């Protein structure tokens, strides 16, 4: 479908790979549900499907990437590779990406940093969708923030990856598609009143930040670091470029402490944390990154369940792009 709307095959592979991997990791909000919206971005001119990102400058341990308003994921992967390379040369590597469309789930990049045996950090801002703590209208992006640390070879890395909003917007999309209500404390309607109806977001409501003033504080700092430092701008200002202003930082562990000591201490830390007896209502203590690794193992063999409405919308989008739905329905 992405190729049918003008994406070169190599880029289409990166973007579709990112969406499918999000589904495999159990993060359906960032999976193939996005296909109709992504095709819409091409039709409206927001995404230039054949544009290629490039490194515009490198200085010391830093690099700047221009996404050229092509697909966000390849631009983000270029920024990530710069950060990794700079970290191997300098001990720490930092790259920003601007003029960059939706980069998807941050965890995919953080997993790659952990695979390179480095410690990682990433964040990005996004279009205003979230009220500030104490406010009622959209002035902040959902502004995810993510970190990763490698563990031993046969265990998944620690990956902490979430929106500073009480929910990623994609989860509202999923809830709406399934006809589900939201928990309280996630959303205000257009009148600024608490709501549990995901549709209220799409008629002018605002998400809240998680953890009251804490998520709010983190969200502001994502605007300052990922938005302003990348040159994308803060999402509440007229200069904001409208994309995911993104920052990646990679730390080469060996430049700080011996890698094997870090890994063994990280394992000991995880074991100590997981030794805590489960609280009432829990069966075990889960580590961040664990749920995604579990889902990937299960869904790689069992497949990815999709709500019928999502599948129908993908089929309609495919047909409108000139791809016969029966040419891919066979994979079901």
What is the nearest approach in angstroms of ligand NAD to the Cβ of residue 187? 13
Q: Give residues 195-254 in contact with ligand NAD (rule: CB under 6 A).
A: 244
For the chain, the straight-line distance linking the first and the last C-alpha, in angstroms and rounded, comes to: 16
Binding region for ligand NAD (CB under 6 A) out of 172-180, 195-203, 218-226, 287-295: 287-295
Q: 216 or 315, CB closer to ligand NAD?
A: 216
Q: 163 or 318, CB closer to ligand NAD?
A: 163
Q: Give residues 7-46 in contact with ligand NAD (rule: CB under 6 A).
A: 27, 29-30
What is the nearest approach in angstroms of ligand NAD to the Cβ of residue 293? 8
Is 160 one of the binding residues for ligand NAD (CB under 6 A)? yes
Is 144 one of the binding residues for ligand NAD (CB under 6 A)? yes
Is 124 one of the binding residues for ligand NAD (CB under 6 A)? yes
Binding region for ligand NAD (CB under 6 A) out of 5-13, 41-49, 218-226, 288-296: 288-296
Q: If DSSP codes are grouped into helix, strand and coil, which group holds residue 304?
A: coil
Measured distance CA(26)–CA(275) in Å, rounded: 25
Question: DSSP per residue over 225-260, as a string?
Answer: IIIIHHTS--TTSTT--SS--EEEEEEEGGGTS-HH
Q: 271 or 332, CB closer to ligand NAD?
A: 271
Is 161 one of the binding residues for ligand NAD (CB under 6 A)? yes
Evaluate whether 247 touches 122 at the Cβ level (below 8 Å): yes
Tokens found for residue 139: 């002035």
Q: Which of 83, 103, 187, 310 binds ligand NAD (CB under 6 A)?
A: 103
Binding region for ligand NAD (CB under 6 A) out of 48-56, 58-66, 105-113, 173-181: 105-113
Q: Which strand (E) or helix (H) includes residue 195?
A: strand 194-195
Q: Which of 96, 142, 148, 209 binds ligand NAD (CB under 6 A)?
A: 142
Dihedral of CA 276/105/249/241: which sign? negative
What is the nearest approach in angstroms of ligand NAD to the Cβ of residue 121? 13
Q: Which of 106, 121, 188, 226 binds ligand NAD (CB under 6 A)?
A: 106
Task: Kindly state the DSSP code that residue 182 receives in the 8-state scheme.
Answer: P
Is 96 one of the binding residues for ligand NAD (CB under 6 A)? no
Evaluate whether 107 touches 29 at the Cβ level (below 8 Å): no
What is the nearest approach in angstroms of ligand NAD to the Cβ of residue 211? 11
Measured distance CA(162)–CA(141) in Å, rounded: 13
Exposed, middle or buried by CB within 10 Å (0-12, 13-18, 19+), for 8? middle
Evaluate whether 30 touches 168 at the Cβ level (below 8 Å): yes
Evaluate whether 29 touches 176 at the Cβ level (below 8 Å): no
Binding region for ligand NAD (CB under 6 A) out of 9-17, 47-55, 86-94, 160-168: 160-168
What is the nearest approach in angstroms of ligand NAD to the Cβ of residue 274? 11
Task: Kindly state the DSSP code that residue 33 receives in the 8-state scheme.
Answer: G
Nearest to 210 by CA among 162, 160, 282, 172: 162
Q: 49 or 128, CB closer to ligand NAD?
A: 128
Rounded to the nearest 10°, the torsion over CA 75, 76, 81, 87 is: 130
Residues that bind ligand NAD (CB under 6 A): 27, 29-30, 102-107, 124, 126, 142, 144, 146, 159-163, 167-168, 171, 244, 286, 288-289, 291-292
């Amino acid at each position: 479908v992405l190729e049918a709307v003008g994406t070169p095959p190599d880029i289409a592979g990166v973007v579709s790979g990112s969406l499918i991997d999000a589904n495999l990791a159990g993060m359906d909000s960032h999976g193939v549900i996005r296909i109709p919206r992504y095709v819409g971005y091409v039709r409206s001119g927001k995404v230039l499907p054949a544009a290629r990102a490039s490194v515009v400058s490198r200085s010391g341990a830093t690099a700047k990437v221009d996404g050229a308003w092509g697909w966000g994921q390849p631009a983000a992967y270029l920024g990530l590779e710069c950060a990794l390379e700079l970290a191997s040369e300098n001990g720490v590597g930092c790259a920003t990406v601007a003029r960059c469309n939706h980069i998807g789930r941050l965890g995919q990049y953080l997993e790659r940093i952990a695979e390179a045996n480095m410690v990682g950090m990433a964040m990005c801002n996004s279009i205003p969708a979230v009220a500030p703590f104490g406010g009622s209208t959209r002035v902040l992006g959902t502004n995810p923030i993510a970190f990763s640390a490698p563990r031993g070879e046969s265990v998944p890395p620690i990956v902490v990856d979430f929106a500073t909003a009480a929910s990623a917007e994609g989860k509202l999309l999923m809830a709406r598609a399934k006809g589900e209500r939201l928990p309280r404390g996630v959303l205000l309607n257009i009148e600024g009143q608490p709501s549990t109806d995901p549709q209220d977001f799409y008629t002018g409501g605002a998400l809240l930040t998680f953890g009251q003033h804490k998520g709010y504080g983190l969200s502001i700092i994502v605007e300052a670091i990922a938005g302003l430092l990348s040159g994308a701008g803060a999402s509440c200002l007229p200069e904001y470029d409208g994309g995911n202003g993104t920052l990646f930082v990679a730390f080469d562990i060996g430049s700080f402490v011996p890698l094997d000591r870090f890994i063994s201490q990280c394992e000991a830390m995880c074991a100590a944390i997981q030794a805590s007896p489960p609280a009432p209502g829990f069966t075990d203590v889960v580590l961040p990154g664990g749920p995604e690794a579990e889902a990937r193992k299960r869904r790689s063999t069992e497949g990815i369940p999709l709500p019928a409405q999502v599948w129908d919308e993908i089929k309609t989008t495919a047909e409108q792009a000139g791809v016969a739905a029966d040419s891919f329905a066979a994979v079901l």
